[in-house]
Structure 1
């Protein structure tokens, strides 16, 4: 009798634990990857009409740390793109260089969306130099898109907009990328517009850039200010993902589905542990599994218009890669370290290392990335609604 009661009690406890685990799993989105209001912009991206249709495409663009640093002011035939400088990365992006690259990505999506709706888009960029983050951040005009009637052109890059996602998972290191695809990327980069694309597939060159990526990550995670500025954007809890609809999440961290599920129901790790994982993933998975590493270089690293053009180039290349079954991921730590050394008035160690790799002092890398065939699909990142970003 006592044994039966004991077994019944143990069963009740076990069922309670299973029920609690299921409740917690549901609460933390273990079974809801890519679902909820934070992901609706990916599903409804082509539903709007007029200028709002362009904004719907723009908000799905690549951007640093998923900060979504954009605001849009609309008129019938004109859209102003503003940098939302309050959504900055602090010491990770002290001159808003990466922010402007992300804004360029949004501009490219918007131009593609305009053509798909029979509109010609004339883009005017605001000239000037990138400056330190303002003490009182406020929206700052960076580009104007003026629309006029034109032929309807819905090309494959436009169709790829809702399928383009940053893939931080392992790539297939043994599967080479055809030379004609690499040539297409060079063409898409728009090298005649003051940009230069460098792709490293030979082992010796690839290793040099990969070593710089890992070394820069090591330096960054030893900088507590940079760790703190990065961590404040990370959304560990599912409720925060749905509330803020921005930032990096566990689902987009490159983890296997099982590990991501376990991480969601585990206690949130410390910022230091989070960033140690980032280093481990960069060193042990992302760099060694990529058959190609690359750089986008500009002539003036802190020129606003050149940063936006670099973003447009990245978005075009990533969309094209998506159409060809390729995966891409920014690994921009070396250039982030260039900015940080400049901010602290330190010796430009990172800039010199990149310059030695480029071999031409007239070109300054502004964006570093990896390219390869994916080993698994990845979910989308959360996005704010169109209504949240229109002025």
Structure 2
């Protein structure tokens, strides 16, 4: 990598950063390249006004992108640190004196949100140990048979009742769905038909079909089955609801997701309990959590995906 100019290195690192997860695969980030630094800014044109009105999940996604970028930098022989100032994340890049590879690098391209039921197999406890919680970011992990997991399952079902009865929520969700190959190639973002396991359809027909299934009963039928097949449930929390804390949580979350991916563990998000303020408060109280619940993740084992969500070309 010695022969690369910094702009070439930055483009390489950014190609890994954008593989981070984001709500509805909205990819709400903008990149700039400075003097030995990469600047990541929120793209508010991609914000999800209904489901993420406070931009919590947006900033968490930026943190996930930061972690991918830093992991890739370590792999290619560079140190990377980040700070958040004036609404932007600045990642400083410097050459390592002694090369320190990152064992999580190979997981960046393998990480994906699992779709459908898990196998029902239980994850050995030793694989989920050794997670060091931080001041601004932490995770609580519950076995599926625990009373805490039952509370989470109840909040997921309650969340579906609320969200799938909300016309604005459903309109926003459908606006991010991509129904055929041409539609996918036009946007390179969103919830793509092949990733979700749907057949390709013309956009008008796809919207009509999806609309028939966007209701509490149908969604809860799906989620009850996924909940029953999950091995563990995780609640990721922040100390305070601020952009800095959300970014720090994103870094923490992505590191966790890369680690479990490298161990062959599958996961999916089920953020309904965090996206609805009343349920968020109930979840915090009933789980006796001192910090603020921000992300709910279900863990288990699953099959390898046939398709990965696309990414937009980054313009610098």
TM-score using structure 1 length = 0.73
Could you tell me whether the CA contact under 8 Å between 1:169 and 1:375 is conserved in 2? Answer: no
Match of 1:96 among 22, 47, 55: 55
For residues 138 and 22 of structure 2, what CA distance do their matches in structure 1 show?
20
Unaligned runs of 5+ in 1: 1-47, 128-140, 339-348
C-alpha deviation, 1:180, in angstroms: 1.2
Unaligned runs of 5+ in 2: 1-6
C-alpha deviation, 1:178, in angstroms: 1.1
C-alpha deviation, 1:376, in angstroms: 4.7
Equivalence for 1:370? 298
Provide the aligned length of Structure 1 versus Structure 2.
305
For residues 116 and 161 of structure 1, what CA distance do their matches in structure 2 show?
11
For residues 280 and 207 of structure 1, what CA distance do their matches in structure 2 show?
15
For residues 222 and 293 of structure 2, what CA distance do their matches in structure 1 show?
19
Equivalence for 2:228? 288
Could you tell me whether the CA contact under 8 Å between 1:170 and 1:285 is conserved in 2? Answer: yes
C-alpha deviation, 1:111, in angstroms: 0.6
SS in 2 for 1:334: helix
Query: Over alpha carbons, which structure has the higher Rg?
Result: 1
- 1:283-303: per-residue Cα shift (whole Å, max 9, x none)? 2332221111110011112x0
Relative distance call for 1:308 and 1:282 in structure 2 (3 A) is farther
| Mapped pair 1:180 → 2:126 | yes
- 1:135-154: per-residue Cα shift (whole Å, max 9, x none)? xxxxxx43101111113333
For residues 117 and 91 of structure 1, what CA distance do their matches in structure 2 show?
39
| Mapped pair 1:335 → 2:263 | no
For residues 352 and 96 of structure 1, what CA distance do their matches in structure 2 show?
18
Equivalence for 1:171? 118
| Larger fraction in helix | 1
C-alpha deviation, 1:281, in angstroms: 5.6
**Mapping for residues 199-348 of structure 1, pairs under 5 Å:** 199-203=141-145, 204-253=147-196, 255=197, 260-261=198-199, 264=201, 267-270=205-208, 272-276=211-215, 279-280=219-220, 282-301=222-241, 303-338=242-277
Equivalence for 2:134? 192
C-alpha deviation, 1:77, in angstroms: 0.3
Match of 1:86 among 29, 40, 45: 45
C-alpha deviation, 1:264, in angstroms: 4.3
RMSD: 2.0
